[in-house]
């Protein structure tokens, strides 16, 4: 189990990354950082930290749907959604992430068809 100070630090990092994805020029570097944290920390994270991860991933989905349409953004999002979907266990979260994956694939195919 993670120590609470370590979780608190990671929570702050996630909050910072969530702010960075709001800025178009920082999005493509921030999403892989979220991916990296997910891979390393999600499996041993507390339920509240898992909620924070899920919240940030959902924010990425919202930003993609409402603001950023470039294929590179959608590819970064797709990778994040696929990793997240493989890690979460709550059925509602899994379903939502499957929808995000489907939407990201559809967006990419629109750009490459």
pTM for the whole structure: 0.90
Residues spanned by the domain of 32: 4-111
Read off the DSSP letter of residue 2.
-
Mind giving me the DSSP string for 22-71? TSHHHHHHHHHHHHHHHHHHGGG--HHHHHHHHHHHHHHHHHHHHT---H
> Which single residue is written with the structure tokens 């493989």?
86
Q: Which residues contact 92 (CB under 8 A, 6 or more apart)?
A: none
% helix / strand / coil in the chain, to the nearest 5?
Answer: 85, 0, 15
pLDDT (tens digit, 9 = 90+) per residue, 5-56? Answer: 788 899 999 999 999 999 999 998 999 999 999 999 999 999 999 999 999 9
Computed on alpha carbons and rounded to an integer, the radius of gyration of the chain in Å comes to: 14
pLDDT at 97 over 80: yes
List the beta strands (DSSP E) in 1-113: none
Task: Look at the chain and report how many structural domains it folds into.
Answer: 1
34 vs 18: CA distance, rounded Å: 9
Q: How far is CA 82 from the centre of its chain?
A: 9
């Amino acid at each position: 189990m993670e120590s609470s100070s370590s979780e608190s630090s990671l929570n702050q990092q996630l909050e910072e990354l969530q702010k960075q994805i709001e800025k178009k020029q920082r999005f493509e570097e921030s999403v892989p950082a979220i991916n990296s944290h997910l891979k390393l920390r999600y499996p041993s994270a507390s339920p509240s930290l898992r909620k924070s991860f899920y919240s940030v991933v959902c924010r990425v989905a919202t930003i993609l749907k409402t603001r950023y349409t470039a294929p590179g953004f959608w590819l970064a999002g797709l990778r994040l959604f696929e990793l997240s979907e493989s890690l979460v266990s709550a059925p509602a979260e899994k379903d939502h992430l499957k929808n995000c994956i489907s939407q990201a694939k559809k967006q990419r195919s629109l750009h490459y068809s």
